[in-house]
Amino acid sequence: MGRLVALSLLGIALALLGERLLALRNRLKASREVESVDLPNCHLIKGIEAGANDIDILPNGLAFLSVGLKCPGLHSFSPDKPGGILMMDLKKENPRALELRISRGFNLASFNPHGISTFIDNDDTVYLFVVNHPEFKNTVEIFKFEEEENSLLHLKTIRHELFPSVNDIIAVGPAHFYATNDHYFSDPFLKYLETYLNLHWANVVYYSPNEVKVVAEGFDAANGISISPDKKYIYVADILAHEIHVLERHPNMNLTQLKVLKLDTLVDNLSIDPSSGDILVGCHPNGQKLFIYDPNNPPSSEVLRIQNILSEKPTVTTVYANNGSVLQGSSVASVYDRKLLIGTLYHRALFCEL
């Protein structure tokens, strides 16, 4: 009788594991392939060989790119080189990517930048917020951009227990921001277990010098975050749920969910087209290829444009798609004056004139 019970429990456990594995493959879109949607006048950006995970562009056309991200379990084309912040002046005819110098005292050797966001203060001071994973830990770094010197002055490192697995950030003040946690746990094994069991414990945190609090939760894997041009709404990409959440901001900085847009791809970072208010999304058509890297069958790329997201039927169009032959693992797309930058998780970056 005891053996029968043990066999029954084993069978139930194996069935549960099999069901969870199948569910994870579906969340990763493991069988999806894309047809190419090409853009004219595109070229790979010289000097970017190991990813440009996130991009933020100032109103004057200066683009910041976070490069060289390394994550446990993910491929890297430059595993021993620290990350950095590059800048491109999109007002120039042939913009080049230049690495910004960072002030002394900041630990460059362990710099591992992830999501980024800029904020322009009332006195025109430009602040750059960077999610950083030194030695795979979680911090937010605040820099002051010094344009004349092409440099970043490090102002502050922020650590907090509510930042166990920070992914992306949107600045709303000189020391104020919303940030996504793509997992509830910081331990790699517990992160894997959380993803495998589909616990939906990821969240969004608001930070200010006076208050830190969870303002939205219940995400599968909260990833990219952005803000509407009128500052009334926060957009959050839930990468494994294939969703973009529209959250309404309140005077106390809390967020309430207004709507959810379902998509057929893994949505990564979000950016806003300043000329239209449209949302541009860097996407992964097949997430399994990101984690099981095969140079003969590399991860593909996809960029979506979402128009009128607050309407009953937003318009979703494919701006760019590639099977990995040119660009592998697109994570972000940002536009300025008909110039488009597409970054990737760990590969190259693309510059296109629209």
Q: What is the pLDDT of residues 88-131, one digit of tens each?
A: 999 998 999 999 999 999 999 999 999 999 999 999 999 999 99
- Mean pLDDT, rounded, for 199-218: 97
- Is there a contact between 70 and 122 (Cβ–Cβ < 8 Å)? no
Per the listing, tokens 């830190």 go with 212
pLDDT tens figures, 143-175: 999 999 999 999 999 999 999 999 999 999 999
pLDDT tens per residue, range 316-341: 999 999 999 999 999 999 999 999 99
Per-residue confidence (pLDDT) for residue 300, from 0 to 100: 97
* 321, 305 Cβ separation under 8 angstroms: no
Angle at 331 between CA 330 and CA 336, to 5 degrees: 95
Q: Is 284 a catalytic residue?
A: no
Task: Say what the pLDDT of residue 73 is.
Answer: 86
pTM over 0.85: yes
pLDDT in tens, 226-244: 999 999 999 999 999 999 9
Residue 94 among known ligand-binding residues:
no
C-alpha torsion sign, points 244, 71, 164, 113? negative
Q: What is the pLDDT of residues 77-88, one digit of tens each?
A: 999 999 999 999
Per-residue pLDDT for 132 more than 70?
A: yes
On the question of pLDDT at 17 being above 90, the answer is: no
Can you list the domains of the chain with their CATH numbers?
32-353 (2.120.10.30)
Tell me: is residue 223 an annotated ligand-binding position.
yes
**Amino acid letter for position 281:** V
pLDDT attached to residue 24: 86
Spatial CA neighbour of 74 closest among 350, 278, 347: 347
268 is in an annotated binding site: yes
230: annotated binding-site residue?
A: no
Helix (H, G, I), strand (E, B) or coil at 351: strand
Instruction: Confirm or deny that 167 is annotated as ligand binding.
Output: yes
CB burial of 153-183 (b: ≥16 within 10 Å; e: otherwise) equals bbeeebeeeebbbbbbbbbbebbbbbbbbbb
Which residues, other chains included, contact 114 with Cβ-Cβ below 8 Å and sequence gap of 6+?
A: 53, 54, 66, 69, 130, 131, 132, 133, 166, 167, 168
**Identified catalytic residue from 114, 133, 245, 284:** 114
Residue 53 assigned as binding residue: no
